[in-house]
Amino acid sequence: MRIGYPCLNRSIGCTPSKTFRLASYTEERLEQTIAANLACLQKILEYNVEHGLLFLRITSDLVPFASHEICTYSWQEQFADIFQGLGDYCKKHGFRISMHPDQFVLLNAPDAGVLERSIRELAYQSAVLDLMGLDRTAKIQIHVGGVYGDKAASMDRFVENYSQLDKTIRARLVIENDERLYAVADCRKIHDRTGIPVILDTFHHSLNNQGEPVQTALSILAETWTSQEGLPMVDYSSQQEGKRPGAHAEHIVSEDFSRFLGDSKPCDFDLMLEIKDKEKSANLALALAAEDFRLVTRSA
DNA sequence: GGCAGTCAAGTACGC
DNA sequence: GCGTACTTGACTGCC
């Protein structure tokens, strides 16, 4: 079990998600922004090595507008060496890497334009991981998508569109249960038809399930990952007190987290903490898991 | 320098 | 059919 946090680090004084408005797009600005974002990503990796946080989700904003039609800049060629350096650093230190496109990426969209833009975004994120030279354990996690008034047909559409994807993208994709539409059991059905691995979001699972305890959900999960693809990935969060159900917590709740560690044994997985204060909670989680036999904090 | 409104992209849902 | 919530960090214009 590696532990990590998504995208941003609030302690190191830089962001890998620097962007700008479409209206201010210029190639110079794009180039400067990518350079700054990649430099910050390197700083985050170094911070994480120092702290033993070996699971990292890379921000979708690393290369702003990468999948937008406005972008004709050859960022892949221009920054190839830097991406490779980042990837070498990750491999040297035993990092697990993921990416997570946001809500606009919908592989089961009935609208051809939405689908096309989604595929372009997946191609971009896939290219980032490829440029870093990362193996099949580096994943891109998406949700199944919308229901569009007919869930069965929408799942069929996911399967069909997935099968049409370039195989380099298919090798990266994993699906995650969501809090309203597609539960773990739905994701499992899609896995059975496609072989796509399933990510468990424990918080979403608590809000949308078919009665399976976490332990059962983790067992279902484990069956969907091959050894080639590494340990299953799990997203963990808890409810922010006083906010609507589904709102992510600002800080990790120690008792909840320790209970989760206990409940999830002996399943092993890499754990992403979707908590708003990022590395602060991740460091606390690491301390809480210090005695856990599954925990890995440095390269073997 | 600080603040409020806005930002590439979509879906679901209430009225 | 239309407007709004969802979610969220960073940008941008305005004071």
> Is residue A297 in a domain?
no
Which stretches does DSSP call E strand in chain A? 3-6, 55-58, 96-99, 139-143, 173-176, 198-201, 233-236, 270-273
Name the percent of chain A lying above pLDDT 70. 100
Q: Give pLDDT tens digits for A28-83.
A: 999 999 999 999 999 999 999 999 999 999 999 999 999 999 999 999 999 999 99
Which phi and psi (to 5°) does residue A123 adopt?
-65, -40
Q: Give pLDDT tens digits for A275-285.
A: 999 999 999 99
The number of beta carbons lying within 10 Å of the beta carbon of residue A121 is 20
CB A73 within 8 A of CB A31: yes
The per-residue pLDDT for A246 is 82
The nucleotide closest to A247 (CA, C1' atoms): C7
Report the half-sphere exposure of A198 (CA within 13 A, side-chain side).
Answer: 28
For residue A223, give every residue at least 6 positions away whose Cβ sits within 8 Å of its Cβ, in sequence order, or none. Answer: none
> Is residue A299 in a domain?
no
Domain count, chain A: 1
A8 touches strand C (CB under 7 A): yes
> Is residue A159 in a domain?
yes
Q: Give pLDDT tens digits for A212-237.
A: 999 999 999 999 999 999 999 999 99
Rg (CA), chain A: 19
- Both ends of chain A: CA-CA distance in Å? 13
**With bands split at pLDDT 50, 70 and 90, how would you rate the model's confidence at A162?**
very high
Describe the crossing of helices A80-93 and A112-131 by its angle, rounded to 10 degrees.
70
DSSP secondary structure string for all residues of A115-169: HHHHHHHHHHHHHHHHHTT--TTSEEEEE----TT-HHHHHHHHHHHHHHS-HHH
**With bands split at pLDDT 50, 70 and 90, how would you rate the model's confidence at A114?**
very high
**With bands split at pLDDT 50, 70 and 90, how would you rate the model's confidence at A24?**
very high
Q: Which domain holds residue A219?
A: 3-288
A247 touches strand C (CB under 7 A): yes
Chain C bases under 7 Å from protein CB?
A: 6-12
Rounded average pLDDT over A244-268: 92
A17 touches strand C (CB under 7 A): yes
For residue A96, give every residue at least 6 positions away whose Cβ sits within 8 Å of its Cβ, in sequence order, or none. Answer: A2, A4, A54, A55, A56, A137, A138, A230, A231, A233, A270
The per-residue pLDDT for A239 is 86
Structure-token pair, residue A109:
């969209």
**With bands split at pLDDT 50, 70 and 90, how would you rate the model's confidence at A104?**
very high
> Is residue A294 in a domain?
no
The nucleotide closest to A146 (CA, C1' atoms): B11
Round and report the angstrom distance from CA (A60) to C1' (B1).
30
In a 3-state reduction of DSSP, which class is residue A182? coil
* DSSP letter (8 states) at residue A300: -
A76 touches strand C (CB under 7 A): no
The nucleotide closest to A278 (CA, C1' atoms): C9
Rounded average pLDDT over A81-107: 97
Structure-token pair, residue A208:
């949308």
Round and report the angstrom distance from CA (A198) to C1' (B3).
43
**With bands split at pLDDT 50, 70 and 90, how would you rate the model's confidence at A243?**
confident
**With bands split at pLDDT 50, 70 and 90, how would you rate the model's confidence at A163?**
very high
Over 80: is that where the pLDDT of A242 sits?
no
Strands A139-143, A96-99: pairing is: parallel
> Is residue A156 in a domain?
yes
The nucleotide closest to A66 (CA, C1' atoms): B8
User: Which residues make beta-bridge pairs with A236?
Assistant: A273
> Is residue A298 in a domain?
no
**With bands split at pLDDT 50, 70 and 90, how would you rate the model's confidence at A135?**
very high
User: What pTM value is reported for the model?
Assistant: 0.97
Closest CA to A92 of A128, A126, A46, A23: A46
In this structure, what CATH number is given to the domain that contains residue A153?
A: 3.20.20.150
* DSSP letter (8 states) at residue A239: B
> Is residue A201 in a domain?
yes
Closest CA to A174 of A144, A142, A151: A142
